[in-house]
Structure 1
Amino acid sequence: MQGAFKSGLCALALALSALPALAQSSRTTGSPADPWEGFNRAVYNVNDALDAALLKPVAKGYQNTVPDPAREGVKNFFGNLGDVWSTVNLLLQGKVVESARMTLRVASNTIFGLGGVLDPATEFGLERHSEDFGQTLGFWGVPPGPYVVLPLLGPSTLRDTAALPVDFKGGGLNFVNDTGAVVTLSGLRVVSTRAGLLSAERVLADVALDKYSFLRDAYLARRRSLVYDGNPPEEPADAEPASAAQ
């Protein structure tokens, strides 16, 4: 781990030193959804180097030292917190039935799942329906706008970026009054999420010649699918690529 950490730090230093030049780069792949590609690639490179230097080694250590049941409990706990905000957004979208089902899911996991550490709701047939405020804006017709890579946070769009303050406020740990506990829980959520992506990262390294464009297109396609609940409308042949649409 120490060797990977040192190599990651070197990569981070190189990426930071190259940031001004990369930000001014005009390199594009012709995607109408990504007019700021030069800047986005620069931020992506810095994020990637920071991940290699810090987050990935910590996530590997977490995966290797924490037993599977404990990691699953952590993931379930934070998933239950996210379900609360999903319930609110479903209601904001006027999806009353789905919101009621998510309310039952949260109640079941909170009461019978030891505060969300267990997930009996899935066994009851109450599947997760994840929603955020960016999806709510998209549901009501707000276009995604240009693709943007945010420092530390990664892929986004202009619409989803504008929704982030609301998502942080509504879907965060606002019920915890202790600042130290908030920092600890937030860090644990990030590490848990990153550990869950380790296997997907290996697949990505095998299939993607250009990880940046692969992740961009996958993110935009997934967000569009989420806005339309998995059934995005078919676009005309002469329309912009799906990644530039809702």
Structure 2
Amino acid sequence: MVKSKKIECPFSILSILMLIFILFTTTNNAYSSEDDPLEPINRAIFNFNEVIDDSILEPIAKGYQAVTPDPVEDSISNFFNNLGEISTIINSALQLNIDKTMSSSGRLIINSTIGVFGLFDVASTIGIERHKEDFGQTLGFYGIPSGPYLVLPFFGPSSFRDAPGFYADIVMNKSISPVHTELHHEERQLVQATNVIDTRANLLKASKILDTAAKDKYIFLRESYLQRRAKMITDGKDVQDFEIDVLEINY
């Protein structure tokens, strides 16, 4: 059954058609080798990530999706999305974006209370839109260039600007997220593992299409990532895109 939940990677029929269209319209490189001077190293890391995904993450994600009822899976995704609001609030404030700071704060309060610790996305049902801001976007807001493309082990597409921003978000979230401040080590590991598995399960449909349709998966992921990040930063807009190879850990 095709799901229509509002998560970071929505796979409606329209989204799938858009992905197929992109696959056949990005065969000519939008970004030259100058954007990817580390391509041999990046490809090696990409291949390593593919092996890890094919042998471990994808099989576990398929099993998780097979045994988890849709409403439960929706609630788990909502829970982690709610944790991600913390980073969005802080980065929106750093970018001096009052509207996003207030709306994300409202989402966190509403979904953490009425939505039962974020298990239900009540805020979206009453029209409060979800945004996603990270420290890489904040660095871009203050004029830090993207720099060369970079593939991170286990996490996938990034850049010389976004990689430090990614780890800055991790450090920040570890200091304030209730997952790290309230839970014991074993409980924290269980929550983190569930987050990774749930994230990968949400990407199964798009990754299947990508595996069968992309002529060069590495180039497609590189171009789509760089285009998406450039648009998010220069336009100041959130782009609901196909984050196929990036595991977004929301704490």
TM superposition score category, shorter chain reference:
0.7 to 0.9
Q: Alignment partner for residue 203 of structure 1, among 206, 209, 232?
A: 209
Q: Partners in 1 of 2:127 and 2:201 — Cα distance? A: 27
Deviation at 1:205, TM superposition (A): 2.1
* Greater shift in the superposed pair: 33-42 or 157-166: 157-166
Aligned to 2:184: 178
Aligned to 2:45: 43
Aligned to 2:74: 72
Deviation at 1:153, TM superposition (A): 1.1
Please give the per-residue CA displacement for 1:80-114, whole angstroms capped at 9, x wherever unaligned: 00011101110010011221111111111011100
What one-letter code is carried by the residue in structure 1 that aligns with 2:41?
Answer: F
What one-letter code is carried by the residue in structure 2 that aligns with 1:181?
Answer: E
Distance 1:144 1:179, change over 3 A: same
1:138-217 correspondence to structure 2 within 5 Å:
138-172=140-174, 173-217=179-223
* Greater shift in the superposed pair: 117-126 or 169-178: 169-178
TM-score by length of 2: 0.78
Deviation at 1:184, TM superposition (A): 0.8
Q: Partners in 1 of 2:138 and 2:124 — Cα distance? A: 24
Matched-pair contact (CA < 8 Å) for 2:147–2:160: yes
Matched-pair contact (CA < 8 Å) for 1:87–1:102: yes
User: For 2:53, what is the secondary structure of its paired residue?
Assistant: helix
Aligned to 1:97: 99
Q: Partners in 1 of 2:65 and 2:199 — Cα distance? A: 11
The yes-or-no answer on 1:122 pairing with 2:120 is no
Unaligned runs of 5+ in 1: 1-28, 233-246
Matched-pair contact (CA < 8 Å) for 1:81–1:171: no
Q: Partners in 2 of 1:136 and 1:65 — Cα distance? A: 39
Deviation at 1:202, TM superposition (A): 1.6
Aligned to 2:4: none
Aligned length: 204
Deviation at 1:229, TM superposition (A): 2.4
Deviation at 1:30, TM superposition (A): 4.2
Matched-pair contact (CA < 8 Å) for 2:92–2:133: yes
What one-letter code is carried by the residue in structure 2 that aligns with 1:128?
Answer: R
The yes-or-no answer on 1:60 pairing with 2:66 is no
Q: Partners in 1 of 2:238 and 2:64 — Cα distance? A: 36
Matched-pair contact (CA < 8 Å) for 1:134–1:163: yes
Distance 1:231 1:174, change over 3 A: closer
Q: Partners in 1 of 2:32 and 2:232 — Cα distance? A: 24
Q: Partners in 1 of 2:183 and 2:191 — Cα distance? A: 12
Deviation at 1:46, TM superposition (A): 0.7
Matched-pair contact (CA < 8 Å) for 1:55–1:194: yes
Q: Partners in 2 of 1:102 and 1:136 — Cα distance? A: 16
What one-letter code is carried by the residue in structure 2 that aligns with 1:124?
Answer: I
What one-letter code is carried by the residue in structure 2 that aligns with 1:67?
Answer: P
Q: Partners in 1 of 2:95 and 2:221 — Cα distance? A: 28
Q: Alignment partner for residue 224 of structure 2, among 192, 214, 218?
A: 218
Aligned to 1:229: 236
What one-letter code is carried by the residue in structure 2 that aligns with 1:152?
Answer: F
Deviation at 1:231, TM superposition (A): 8.9
TM-score by length of 1: 0.79
